[in-house]
């Protein structure tokens, strides 16, 4: 898998792009990434992922308040590659990135500059300045631009919605086996 750590000026090769932070690459994340890879295969697109090299929530926090990622960057990349992605866009999350309006991020970066022809995200995914972008905004932009969109509903196990936050809580409680089950891989 090729890892690109800067947003290119223009890479119009048509892609199916899974969009998310993918901290831990848990079962919910896997559903998003696998959907993008399956769509890419069916539609003749490059299976791709857009994420960040670090956790966006940590970008502006002082060191003692930062959250430890569930997986190191290299492990995250290996897990994503094992799911079938051929490209991973993983720029750092900076003040400049944080200031990009949601519409501009979707239209200019994902669709125009990265060549997204199919975007896949979780139903609760947020993006753009202030987290103002959501699946409804993506739906509107994709309809206007002709880009396909797949929104994956939350993945639950035994009635609990799987999230990186829940997995972190389980680990803090010492419930490693429960956390491992939600991740779908070892920790």
At 18, which CATH number? Answer: 3.40.50.620
Whether 176 is covered by a domain: the verdict is no
Query: What stretch of H or E contains 52?
Result: none
Domain span at residue 146 reads 2-154
Whether 166 is covered by a domain: the verdict is no
Mean pLDDT by 10 residues, the chain (187 residues): 89 93 94 98 98 89 89 95 97 92 96 96 94 96 97 92 93 92 80
The model carries a pTM of: 0.93
Whether 40 is covered by a domain: the verdict is yes
The two most distant CA atoms of the chain are separated, in Å, by 48
**What CA–CA distance (Å, rounded) separates 45 from 84?**
12
Whether 14 is covered by a domain: the verdict is yes
Strand partners, 47: 16
What is residue 184's predicted lDDT score, i.e. its pLDDT? 87
Whether 9 is covered by a domain: the verdict is yes
Count how many domains the chain has: 1
Helices 164-172/176-183 angle, 10° precision: 160
Whether 67 is covered by a domain: the verdict is yes
Q: Helix, strand, coil: what percent of the chain each, to 5? A: 45, 20, 40
The DSSP 8-state label assigned to residue 57 in this structure reads G
């Amino acid at each position: 898998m090729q890892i690109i750590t800067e947003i290119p000026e223009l890479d119009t090769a048509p892609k199916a792009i899974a969009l998310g932070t993918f901290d831990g690459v848990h079962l919910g994340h896997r559903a998003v990434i696998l959907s993008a890879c399956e769509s890419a295969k069916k539609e003749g697109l490059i299976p791709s992922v857009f994420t960040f090299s670090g956790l966006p929530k940590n970008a502006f926090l002082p060191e003692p308040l930062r959250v430890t990622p569930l997986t190191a960057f290299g492990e995250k990349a290996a897990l994503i590659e094992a799911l079938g992605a051929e490209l991973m866009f993983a720029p750092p999350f900076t003040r400049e990135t944080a200031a990009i309006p949601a519409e501009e991020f979707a239209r200019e970066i994902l669709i125009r500059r990265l060549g997204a022809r199919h975007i896949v995200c979780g139903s609760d995914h947020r993006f753009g300045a202030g987290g103002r972008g959501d699946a409804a905004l993506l739906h509107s932009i994709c309809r206007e631009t002709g880009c396909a969109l797949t929104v994956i509903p939350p993945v639950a196990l035994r009635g609990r919605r799987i999230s990186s936050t829940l997995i972190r809580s389980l680990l803090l409680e010492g419930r490693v086996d429960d956390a491992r089950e939600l991740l779908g891989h070892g920790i």
